[in-house]
Copies of this chain bind each other. A is one copy, B any other.
Amino acid sequence: VETNRVEAFSDGVFAIAITLLILGVVVPTSERGRLGHDLLELWPSYVAYGVSFVTIGIIWVNHHEIFRQVGRVDRTLLFINVLFLMLVAFIPFPTRVVADFVRHPGDRRPAALAYGITLTVTALLFNTLWRYVSGKRGLLREDADPRVVSGITRSFIPGVPLYAGSTLLSLVSPIAALVLYGSIALFYVLSSSLFGRDEIGEAAA
């Protein structure tokens, strides 16, 4: 009961951030008679929309998982959660930057960097949230299963290094980094669906 309103507020921000992504897919306004061509040219926007939608979806699933273990909320947790949501709600911005600039070689690197930095900081704050919840006495539910708790802890280990590594990679090859961002999301969904929980696939985000 105690945690209901935090979850509802968080879910609201998740749902809005994920749905606002569509505003980054901009209806073409070029001259008439070329709509078919223009819609095909928009493919980076569709891909960026898909990758960010799935990525925010993954983060939401994991946030869900964390809060199922939470029994009590204090003000520090509320504020860590607000900072974390601040990053989640920011994701539509670098998503659109990547979609708009990925085809221009001179702008690809800063676009990939902006996306990677955003997701790395998101992963960092997500880890902070979980460490605070699992580390402070009295926040976890009394009946929380220690194996589930340590399973979550383990599954969150690869998230920050993966995104930080991809971000660094974008300095060398922005395209490789962008492919990696998409692959992390894809791999996570597939492995999570195919092998169930507590597999390495749960690591991202």
| A binding-site residues for B, Cβ under 8 Å | 5, 7-9, 11-23, 25, 27, 32-36, 39, 49-50, 53-54, 57-58, 60-61, 64, 74-76, 78-79, 82-83, 85-86, 89-90, 92-93, 96-97, 100-101, 104, 106-107, 109-111, 114, 189, 192-193, 196-197
Contact = CB atoms under 8 A, between A and B. Distances in A.
Contacts of A192: 75-76, 79
Contacts of A16: 12, 15-16, 19-20
Contact of A32 (B25, B39, B107): B107
- Give chain A's interface secondary structure class: helix
B18 A89 contact: yes
Given A9-B11, A75-B193, A93 B27 contact: yes
Contacts of A27: 93, 96-97, 100
